[in-house]
A and B are shown apart, each in its own frame.
Chain A
Amino acid sequence: MPPKLLGRGAVQIRWRKVATSPRRWGSSISQRPGSDSVRFPGAVNSKFTTQMSFVKPADIPAIPTYRVMDSDGVLVDTDRGPPDVTDAEVLTWYKNMLTVSIMDVIMFEAQRQGRLSFYMVSAGEEGVTVGSAAALSPDDVVFAQYREAGVFQQRGFTLQEFMSQLFSNKNDNGRGRNMPVHYGRKYPKMHTISSTLATQIPQAAGAAYALKLKALQNPNHPASVVACYFGEGAASEGDFHAALNMAATRSCPVIFVCRNNGYAISTPTLEQYRGDGIASRGIGYGIDTIRVDGNDIFAVYEAMQAARKLALEGGPGGGRPILIEAMSYRVSHHSTSDDSFAYRARVEVEDWKRRDNPIIRLRKWLERQGIWDEDRERETREDLRRTILKEFGAAEREKKPALREAFTDVYEEMTDETREQMQELKRILQTYPEEYDLRQYEGGADSL
């Protein structure tokens, strides 16, 4: 930030006068003789020391990773009871993870066949998204990055909605304007995804502040939080810094969920940061922080549930941001435009796929509970595959939105300029009909 000479100068000119107000002195009582701790306004709880030692990140143990079950689906701490969730709920989670996973395979292949322009799978991260979303209430608001299909699935986004968005057809909530996997929903509110990384993080802080104010201003307003998802790569953006700092200073009830999957496209975390992951930064902002095993859906769920409770503590609307760093591994390619074997070993990926994976882990748990077996697995997979393909076919055959939608919603009301441009396009389409194939678009040129 450059110095704001004029502004700062203007402040200084008035400073001596403003200082007659006692509250401006509150944080700047000068040092008392013999004091053993700092009275500088910038760090009020710091003790003086005569030992000169730099704080070395390497000397601080890495933040531990919370887990409930191990990679064989066995409860690790037998002193505690099993997770407080009904079998029916856990089965729903499992099916939601499977749905996302099967949809991923089908849509990735469909993109390869050129039937949709783009796709991003979330293989390996279904536990983070489904598990965290399961702890949210329907009034909570979600800001996502793009690899959170599990959040949408768990919060009731239908297969028809997924497919309509992926095929940009006339039923797409986004009216065919966004790239595939940029989902959005009105209720439960999940803001439409934008490609720009990390921009949603300060927005989530502001949205949480708005929810808090609504609860403060209206006792009947449900206490709700904002959940904000982003990857460890996005956390390098300036918006991450801005957001966590603002959320902390304004006491916003927002839960930041970082999916640390080891890679940002081709960049491994060693080239992304040198600190103890993302979690260690939360503490620096004065934010309560936890690191969890993202392949353990119970650990994610419990952490998210506790985070939600903490965020809402302290009066109407709540008053605290929370950071959860969920560790996982991006099993898939970054997107359909990426071949990840160009920068990482196939064997490494296979290892994660086979040995530790949130779906397999939960399946093992379910089998140990005696509520799942090979037959049910096969039946469910076939059933899900059939349903997804049915919605796939229906969405692919559906018409594209009316051409008019290219011009609406730029402003609340269409400007005269836009109206003229729309008419000009119509004239072109009518003058050169052989140049354009409008059959796919609802209403053809007449919608303009």
Chain B
Amino acid sequence: MTTAPPALVRRLLLRRPPSFKQPRRSHSTAPSPSARLNLPIDYKTTPLLHHTPSTLSGATDLPQHATTKRLNLYQAINSALRTALSTSDKVLLFGEDVAFGGVFRCSMDLQTEFGSERVFNTPLTEQGIVGFAIGAAAEGMKPVAEIQFADYVFPAFDQIVNEAAKFRYREGGTEGNAGGLVIRMPCGAVGHGALYHSQSPESLFAHVPGVRVVMPRSPSQAKGLLLSAIFECKDPVIFMEPKVLYRASVEHVPNEYYTIPLSKAETIKPGKDLTVISYGQPLYLCSSAIAAIEKATGVSIELIDLRTIYPWDRQTVLESVRRTGRAVVVHESMINYGVGAEVAATIQDGAFLRLEAPVKRVAGWSVHTGLTFEQFILPDVARIYDAIKQTLEY
């Protein structure tokens, strides 16, 4: 078998598909000409990304003095997978269309490098993919299974909830477990994904004891968290990748192997008047809203990235809210029974006497993501700004 030179293929594939080009198309969300809050996120200047190696070496949880390379999120995932596959023979990578590089390019060149026994396509069956992965994990492998979109994980819900999550518990003394399992899935809105290319089902998994649910916000975080999920965590991990960041978020990522601990939140920005808690892509919206309100009013807002949605870092959040006395929780998925409900309930239970305002939740409305309505359904900078303002003024 011969293939085109990888460099050529890579160059061709790296070309952006039309939907990612500016200006945005009519089917995508277009900012109002007079908008001052709901502007497109400028990923080139956001303080959430390491635009130079210098900020990276100052970051906690990242290796100091590492050689780095500027990568976007899909390249960072690819780098983590390459590192994982070369670190251990036990790591397998499979799912629908992963062999040629994946529909989001996350597995590019990996089959060529590591062989078709370890990186391969499966038939189009989500329940089969996850069931197969559980079985491989039960015999000691470290399968990284890909579900092409989080919207299509539901056929595998039974395998995740009843099998992967309960495997160690029901095996008990036999010590059988599916701890080597990682299930990756692109999630979240992308501007024109409508009902079945936009979902973020993290709260459904967060209701299931036995699995860990992780969502990175950036390339460097994705690599460290994914390697941690594969090698350090002995529990099944649902690893959700905000697909809108695959190409949009670019930053310096350490070249070496490193891990970021699961179930640990990160305080992105310290503050003393209010705590904003979020995860994944909405953190960029939070960051913009915080910058706007701090500039307008002189308040100081703390921003926390949960990183792991379950089991989550309650201590970091409670410690922060006990200091600030006010909290706003932001996420993209629906507000009803969402992650915000759990965070808000935990705050009222653990910081009741310090609260000076009700905990506010900014999240998707309790509807489906209708194609042309996306910008009105999901949280945006204006809604976050307003929630912070109301909570401060309460």
Contacts and interface: CB of A to CB of B under 8 A. Distances in A.
A158 to B, nearest CB: 14
Nearest to A420: B314
A410 B103 CA distance: 34
Contact of A199 (B162, B172, B190, B192): B162
Interface stretch (A111-119, A208-216, A270-278, A352-360): A208-216
Contacts of A205: 128, 131-132, 135
A417 B163 contact: no
B131 A203 contact: yes
Interface in A175-197: 175, 177-178, 182, 184-186, 189, 191-192, 194, 196
Contacts of A196: 158, 162-163
A182 B235 contact: no
Q: At the interface, is chain A mostly helix, strand, loop or mixed? A: helix
Interface in B1-48: 1-4, 8-9, 12-13, 15, 17-18
A353 B138 CA distance: 39
A2 B153 CA distance: 12
A302 B347 CA distance: 64
A202 B173 contact: no
A173 B123 CA distance: 35
Interface string B122-137: 1111011111111111
Interface stretch (A56-64, A241-249, A324-332, A431-439): A241-249
Interface in B74-125: 89, 92, 97, 100-101, 103-104, 117-118, 120, 122-125
Contacts of B92: 213
A217 B89 contact: yes
Given A172-B172, A245-B128, A417 B152 contact: no
A10 B17 contact: yes
Interface in A1-18: 1-2, 4-8, 10-11, 13-14, 17-18
Interface residues of B, number: 75
A177 B170 contact: yes
21 contacts: A4-B149, A4-B196, A4-B197, A6-B192, A6-B197, A172-B172, A173-B174, A174-B171, A177-B170, A191-B174, A192-B171, A194-B163, A202-B127, A203-B134, A205-B132, A210-B136, A210-B138, A239-B131, A239-B158, A250-B120, A250-B122
Interface of B: 1-4, 8-9, 12-13, 15, 17-18, 89, 92, 97, 100-101, 103-104, 117-118, 120, 122-125, 127-141, 143, 148-149, 152, 155, 158-159, 162-163, 166, 168-177, 179, 190, 192-193, 196-197, 209-210, 212, 234-235, 263, 311, 314-315
Would you list the 9 A-B pairs with minimal beta carbon distance, nearest first?
A202-B131, A206-B135, A242-B128, A203-B135, A206-B132, A175-B172, A210-B139, A207-B135, A412-B234
